[in-house]
Amino acid sequence: MDLKYFDLKAILDMDDMFRRYFMNTAEGFKNAALLGTANSDGLTNLAIFNSVVHIGASPPLIGFIHRPVTVPKQTFTNIQQTGSFTINLITKGIYKKAHQTSARYAPDISEFEATDLQAEFGRKVKAPYVAESPVRFGMSLEEIIPIRSNGTYLVIGKVQEMFIRKDLIADDGNVELHKADIIAVSGLDNYYLPELIERLPYAKVPATT
Ligand SMILES: Cc1cc2nc3c(=O)[nH]c(=O)nc-3n(C[C@H](O)[C@H](O)[C@H](O)COP(=O)(O)O)c2cc1C
């Protein structure tokens, strides 16, 4: 393999924009989700995030990383105000609209209207869901952990309710995301359609004979 070597200094010396693309993409594919929130007056907000991460299944906890809050950010503020948010996976059919939610719309503009995605409301969580999303989680805020290393935040929520397209749920509980054309993202602008290669059995240490 013909590899190029970078030490920390070489990475820090990169042009800012180059380093941003480089570090955001080199570390691998990520999921992309739309986080739906509403402020205390009920004004809805929607924004794309690529840092949604599984924290645990029992209790069901999901987190995401929020950048340092240097300018007012609606998702972060709304979650702090109301204690709830939704996570909506993105399909091939809506990825362009989903991407557009990252634009810096004024706080009084709802990205649902700006991007023509439909807001839908659930049963237990006041935050809005994306009607076009086949996999949706309604979350209550558990904790916000400031990350000292760089001023970002790990926002952790507990799943209060879920809506999933019925045909995606296999008999053993496996959710077959590829059947719904759920997309993945690398960095902030490379959108992919993942393909299932194979589902493998639980790995065990081979028996010695
Ligand atoms: C593909 C993609 C992924 C993103 N992921 C994150 C993320 O994980 N964390 C974050 O703080 N911002 C992320 N952003 C930026 C937010 O979408 C952007 O700041 C947005 O304006 C936030 O909206 P809000 O101010 O309404 O909360 C991402 C943007 C794109 C295009």
Instruction: Quote the pLDDT of residue 72.
Output: 85
What percentage of the chain's residues is helix, strand, coil (to nearest 5)?
20, 35, 45
CB of 66 within 6 A of ligand 1: the answer is yes
Coil, strand, or helix at residue 59? coil
Give me ligand 1 centre to Cα 66, in Å: 8
CB of 37 within 6 A of ligand 1: the answer is no
| Interval 100-134: pLDDT, tens | 999 999 999 999 999 999 999 999 999 999 999 99
Domains and CATH numbers, the chain: 24-192 (2.30.110.10)
CB of 74 within 6 A of ligand 1: the answer is yes
Residue 208 has pLDDT above 90, yes or no: no
The percentage of the chain sitting over the pLDDT mark of 70, rounded to a whole number, equals: 100
HEC readout, 120-188: ECCCCCCCCEECCCCEEEEEEEEEEEEECCCCEEEEEEEEEEEEECHHHECCCCCECHHHHCECEEECC
Taking CA atoms only, the protein residue closest to ligand 1 atom 13 is 49
Instruction: Quote the pLDDT of residue 91.
Output: 98
Residues 170-183 have a mean pLDDT of 97
Residue 181 has pLDDT above 90, yes or no: yes
Say if residues 82 and 126 touch (Cβ distance below 8 Å).
Answer: yes
Instruction: Quote the pLDDT of residue 87.
Output: 98
Instruction: Quote the pLDDT of residue 171.
Output: 97
- Which are the contacts of 102, defined by CB distance < 8 A and separation ≥ 6? 47, 48, 188
| Interval 127-168: pLDDT, tens | 999 999 999 999 999 999 999 999 999 999 999 999 999 999
Phi-psi region for residue 199, left (φ > 0), alpha (ψ -120 to 50) or beta? beta
Instruction: Quote the pLDDT of residue 158.
Output: 98
Considering the chain, what is the average pLDDT of its residues? 97
